[in-house]
Amino acid sequence: MSDKRTITKSKKFFANARKVIPGGVNSPVRAFKAVGGDPIFIDHAAGSKLYDVDGNEYIDYVGSWGPMICGHAHPDVVKAVSDAVAKGSSFGASTEMEVEMADMIVDGFQSIHMVRMVNSGTEATMSALRVARGYSEKVKVIKLDGCYHGHGDSLLVKAGSGVETLGLPDSPGVPAALANLTISIPFNDLSAMESVLEKEGDQVACVIVEPVVGNMGVLAPEPEYLEGLKSLCEQSQTVLIFDEVMTGFRLAYGGAQELYDVRPDMTTLGKIIGGGLPVGAYGGQVELMNQVAPAGPVYQAGTLSGNPLAMAAGIATLKLLKQENVYENLNQTSAKLANGLKEIAWRARVPVVINRVGSMFTVFFTDEERVKNYLDAKTCNTKRFSKFFAGMMERGIYMAPSQFEAGFVSMAHSEEDIDKTLNAAEDVMKTIR
């Protein structure tokens, strides 16, 4: 049975928000357009739980879209931010914490020898593309269908995530001349990549890819796919960029590239390295990073880059992740959830594919046997997903309000949380078959 929940205050706040904020939200997927109904407004969070302005409690599998891997308001992170803000929230000057964070990133990622801090994942990917173009003196970019790399102009082509959620194939405001410099090809298709690089490799500055996709739902790379990308990029002298904004420090301390043992030329990071505060970073080989001003001619700057509050939260988070057995425990908890959901759907005769890599997962409502690329993801029954989402919300389970997003498990999710989630799913699956 579902809980009796009201969202009276959330409805009021949303009505007011629509008068002063486009669509009433500051990021499109928050509007719940893909799942119907009105969004909830959050008052506070702790551990694995969210609490909305009407006092409803939810087990949270969004985790601020990934960064809350230690859970909400972890005492160590709260203390670190509190101590930092007492010294001043921003200086526009260098701090020791920036260097400490850079050292931790370089220590965690074998492919990163130097790193530049920025303020968002979008800023990180935009900057990495600029460095690749400046270094290679080539202009074209290859991305993979359905991969989302932020809302930079060059990358809003078949961009998955919120773009797919809202049914927008691309975005007005992106000049055709710029979009024409971006080539988008299927994920998990090495032959397509080989064909494009053979034809246009002398013009392609870089290939950018989510090594584990999280923005058309979770998609894992096929065996040897990432190794194949690396080899093809080396042959064509093309910079390979892994967008690990979502997967960095999430799938392993060294990200997806540690998990799959493939080293890109450049990496973009975000989310977890800020512990929930706005943050981003891009890094790679010294030869590439020395192109960045003031060391080199490629200009990139940011007034609040390396903000001391974000650095403090990120450092505290990474220290927690270095504790023994963190990733093993996350994997076990996530496996219990995913396997339980799969069994429940099978018993209810609801066709689903559940993809999971580490503590990231997606429940795809599809008749396909596998979901391995953008076209597979597009087969999903979004109406059925919307019913699932609404039913879970009514029972106090908060999942991403889109079929095309990842779910996240945190260190704070308990056995009791997983059991409650599976019990809720058992009820809901019976209603949507």
Residue 371 lies in a domain: yes
Which of these ranges, 198-202, 223-227, 429-433, has the smallest mean pLDDT?
A: 429-433
Answer yes or no: do 79 and 223 share one domain: yes
Nearest to 357 by CA among 226, 268, 207: 226
The mean pLDDT value for 400-428 works out to 97
The CATH number of whichever domain residue 212 belongs to comes to 3.40.640.10
The mean pLDDT value for 23-45 works out to 92
Residues classed as catalytic: 148, 243, 271
Answer yes or no: do 329 and 314 share one domain: no
Q: Name every residue whose Cβ is closer than 8 Å to that of residue 362 and which is 6 or more positions away in sequence.
A: 217, 218, 354, 355, 356, 371, 405, 406, 407
Band (pLDDT 50/70/90 cuts) for residue 6 is: confident
Report the domain count for the chain: 2
The mean pLDDT value for 363-373 works out to 96
Residue 69 lies in a domain: no
Structural domain boundaries, residue 128: 75-321
Answer yes or no: do 123 and 206 share one domain: yes
Residue 2 lies in a domain: no
Nearest to 58 by CA among 37, 70, 43: 43
pLDDT value for 33: 87
pLDDT tens for each residue of 302-346: 999 999 999 999 999 999 999 999 999 999 999 999 999 999 999
pLDDT value for 170: 59
Residue 3 lies in a domain: no
Tokens of 312: 């403090």
Answer yes or no: do 163 and 245 share one domain: yes
pLDDT value for 50: 98
CA separation for the pair 81, 105 (Å, rounded) = 19
pLDDT tens for each residue of 59-91: 999 999 999 999 999 999 999 999 999 999 999
CA separation for the pair 115, 93 (Å, rounded) = 17
pLDDT tens for each residue of 161-172: 444 433 444 567
The mean pLDDT value for 395-419 works out to 97
Q: What 3-state class would DSSP assign to 403?
A: coil
The mean pLDDT value for 134-151 works out to 93
**CA distances for 38 relative to 11, 141, 179, 222, 232, angstroms:** 7, 38, 34, 38, 46
CB 268 within 8 A of CB 245: yes
pLDDT tens for each residue of 101-131: 999 999 999 999 999 999 999 999 999 999 9
pLDDT tens for each residue of 212-253: 999 999 999 999 999 999 999 999 999 999 999 999 999 999
The answer to whether residue 293 scores a pLDDT higher than 50 is yes
Answer yes or no: do 22 and 160 share one domain: no
The residue from 272, 302, 321 where one domain ends is: 321
Band (pLDDT 50/70/90 cuts) for residue 1 is: very low
pLDDT value for 8: 93
Band (pLDDT 50/70/90 cuts) for residue 3 is: low
Residue 68 lies in a domain: no
Answer yes or no: do 19 and 80 share one domain: no
Nearest to 405 by CA among 376, 349, 364, 348: 364
pLDDT value for 110: 97
Average pLDDT, the chain: 94
CA separation for the pair 47, 66 (Å, rounded) = 14
